Amino acid sequence: MRTDDPLLPLAIEQIGLVVFSLIGWTGIHLSLRRPVKWKLRRAGTKLKVLEGLVRKLIMVLALELDLAPVRPRSKPPADEPCEHTAQTPDSIEIIAFPRVRQPSLSLLPSPMDFSVGKDLSQLPRRTTPVHIMARRFSRRIVALQKVLDAPEVHAKRLARSLHRIRKAGEPKPFLVASSFPNGFRPELSLLHVGLTEKLRAQLDLWDSS
């Protein structure tokens, strides 16, 4: 799938429709309406499926990109002041504002830990307040929408990361065989099958020797 492939805007449109339906169903966009916990849990499960679908979409775009060699940035000499520094008057002080953490969707698959962990079944279960669940769900929506708004930018960023991993001789990402769950639009099920086949074909070209 290339960036000019007509399937790309169709995929973004279909995923966006489901995201908007989840927002309207949970009611997190209404300040006077308090979301319900069971709706947030069910919507969070569906959003997790959409996140995996978007990861596959960006991964296919990244593997098909032909990256140009990155030019090294030229640094000014140490004895010469920067242009902006030289033009700044002495009476002006530079004020640094704290950076607000922006929600982001992790596109690379998380490393799997096969070690035996502790048994957490005996620990007491704590219920999460509904406002915290709504805040987490909203952040996931914003992070997913950021990727859908600029898929080419995120695909290039992921392609550079994959290039470094491939150049280091690390094994290729493992594609887990999974079926698309029920309860979604049939277009998304067809998109899941098509992206899986494209991703499997691209990973077969990965030199893992």
Residue-level pLDDT at 69: 53
Cβ–Cβ < 8 Å for 34, 127: no
Residue-level pLDDT at 45: 92
Average pLDDT of the chain, as a whole number: 77
CA distance 10 to 25: 23
CA distance 121 to 162: 37
For residues 115-141, give the mean pLDDT.
74
Q: In the 8-state DSSP scheme, what is residue 179?
A: P
Single pTM value for the model: 0.73
Count Cβ atoms below 10 Å from residue 28 Cβ, excluding itself.
21
pLDDT tier, 47 (very low <50, low <70, confident <90, very high otherwise): very high
Structure-derived torsion over alpha carbons of residues 179, 183, 185, 189, reported in degrees to the nearest 10: 0
pLDDT tier, 85 (very low <50, low <70, confident <90, very high otherwise): very low
pLDDT tier, 66 (very low <50, low <70, confident <90, very high otherwise): low
Q: Is 137 exposed, middle or buried (0-12, 13-18, 19+ CB in 10 A)?
A: buried
CA distance 183 to 202: 29
Helix (H) or strand (E) holding 84: helix 83-87
Structure-derived torsion over alpha carbons of residues 202, 205, 208, 209, reported in degrees to the nearest 10: 170
CA distance 22 to 16: 10
Of 27, 29, 45, the residue nearest 184 (C-alpha): 45
Taken in order 158, 151, 133, 122, the sign of the CA dihedral is negative
**80 vs 26, higher pLDDT:** 26
